[in-house]
Structure 1
Amino acid sequence: MLWSDNGVRVVEAMRPLVIFDCDGVLVDSEPLSVQVLVEALSRRGVVVSEDEAYERFLGRSLSTVAQILHDDFDHSIDAAFLEDLRHHLYERFRRELQPVAGIADVLDALDCEKCVASSSQPERIRLSLSLTGLLQRFEPHIFSASMVAQGKPAPDLFLHAASSMGVDPSSCIVIEDSPAGIEAAQRAGMAVFAFVGGSHATAPGYSERVTALAPDVVFDAMPELLHLVRKHREGSKGRRAHRAV
């Protein structure tokens, strides 16, 4: 690791970093999250189907969800709504949340730096990772949309994660499952691998929205990631060697 004289990490363009989204990539939480949100809105008299919730809210920060609800449903989120949502969601997580199949072995075998960059609040990210036995594989490198001005699909969160880890955006690989997250990674100038192996992948129109964004890779089994990362790194080295000639 390189450091400046004042102790700040210096960006290293050649050192790779794999940035993982959390929900739908590390933990299979999206169906639970969508169900709880739809039920919470229904208790407030706001009717949103699960299919519509996937299309409008998947991968987006709470502030973005709140803005959509305000603009399109004339509903404002207040503290009572958030507490109700959090209570029911965490209850479901404690009973049912599971890690994405194969992710623990992949994380243990990955031979480069890694971090989490999620639209969720820090408390929820750490709870999800703790419940599924993944927290210590990332701590303290956990970044939330609450740390930046704009959440996904803006690139702010991924750029913040890369800067904090001291890695140039061009050396980052983002693992995402949502259209908003894929767009954010692309706008950040990072490679993006779209994971479509979560249990929410069967939602109508989901695969079409993901592939329409033309991510660098689309894959549906987490154990494939090790090979895909190695292949990408080898290709990047070849491109750098070609430019140096």
Structure 2
Amino acid sequence: MYRYKCIIFDCDGVLVDSEPLSNQVMVDIANELGASINLEYAYRHFKGNSFNDCASQIAELIGREVPANLEQKYRERSYQKFKEKIQPIEGVKELLDNLELPFCVASSGPEQKIRLNLELTGLIDYFQSNIFSCYTIQKWKPDPAIFQWATQSLGFKTSECVVIEDSITGVEAAINGGFDVFGYTANDYNNELKNKATKTFDSMLILKELLVY
């Protein structure tokens, strides 16, 4: 028997393996502006954060405002990378095929990006209308608003839901909303999640057993 009635999945790094691709694009763009950073820096400072927060960090690194078209450039380049290389997280299709309770996706990215990546990885049919984007409500993690919106929209209480996250920002958002949160640690480069999340796990193939009594 499941201990929860609904699962709220983050998208990037939880459903789709987009973090290496998107962070590398951010690194490339930042370095073109004179930032001189690498992918490890991006994982430590950008992962799980909103685009505006990343842009603010880049501005601080280069000592001036970033160009007005920075997000447009980032989206164009990252979408192209996704189309060329993105893959689903290992084991996630098997997990979704075998879940017998409702689930949704709640992500910091624009809905267009979420849908694109779910389509490219063959996951879109699992979610369809159950897609929630921070851009729609203009509130970003660690604000818990995205998870609260998803929960209320699907008709569940906070205590009936569990959030699946891979970033410290996302874990903190769930905690701030009073949710249980399971941290997916396969790419926890900073080893941050185990001290914050309700539980941690490193394979989607074992998540189901963590959801039952």
1:220 maps to 2:202: yes
AA of the residue aligned to 2:193: V
Distance in 2, matches of 1:134 and 1:54, equals 25
Residue by residue over 1:162-191, the C-alpha shift from the partner in whole angstroms, topping out at 9 and shown as x without a partner, is 111111111111000000000000111111
Distance 1:76 1:137, change over 3 A: farther
Checking the alignment, whether the CA contact within 8 Å between 1:59 and 1:181 is kept in structure 2 is yes
1:191 corresponds to 2:176: no
Q: Where does residue 99 of structure 1 map in the other structure?
A: 88
Matches within 5 A, 1:108-127: 108-127=97-116
CA contact (8 A) 1:27 1:132 kept: yes
Within 5 A, what are the aligned runs for 1:157-176? 157-176=146-165
Between the aligned partners of 1:73 and 1:61, the Cα distance in structure 2 is 19
Which of structures 1 and 2 has the bigger CA Rg? 1
Could you list the per-position Cα deviations for residues 203-244 of structure 1 after superposition, in whole angstroms to 9, with x for gaps in the alignment? 3xx21x22232x1111001010111111xxx3xxxxxxxxxx
* 1:73 shift after superposition: 4.8
**Matching of residue 128 in structure 1 with residue 117 in structure 2:** yes
Report the equivalent of 1:210. 193
Q: Which residue of 2 aligns with 1:229?
A: 211
SS in 1 for 2:21: helix
Deviation at 1:56, TM superposition (A): 1.4
Match of residue 59 from structure 1: 48
Residues 182 and 75 of structure 1, relative CA distance in 2, 3 Å threshold: farther
Amino acid at match of 1:225: L
Change (3 A) 1:146 1:72: same
Is residue 185–residue 191 contact of structure 1 (8 Å, CA) maintained in 2?
yes
CA contact (8 A) 1:102 1:223 kept: yes
Identity of aligned residues (%): 37
Q: Once the two structures are superposed, what CA deviation does each residue of 1:74-133 show, in whole Å capped at 9, x if it has no partner?
A: 443444222221222111111110001110111111111100001111111111100000
Aligned CA RMSD, in angstroms, stands at 1.8
Task: Say whether the 8 Å CA contact 2:49–2:141 is kept in structure 1.
Answer: yes
Deviation of residue 154 (structure 1)? 1.3
The secondary structure found in structure 2 opposite 1:27 is: coil
CA–CA distance in 2 between the matches of 1:124 and 1:148?
16
Q: Aligned to 1:22, which of 11, 14, 38?
A: 11
Report the AA paired with residue 164 of structure 1. Answer: S
- CA–CA distance in 2 between the matches of 1:112 and 1:79? 43
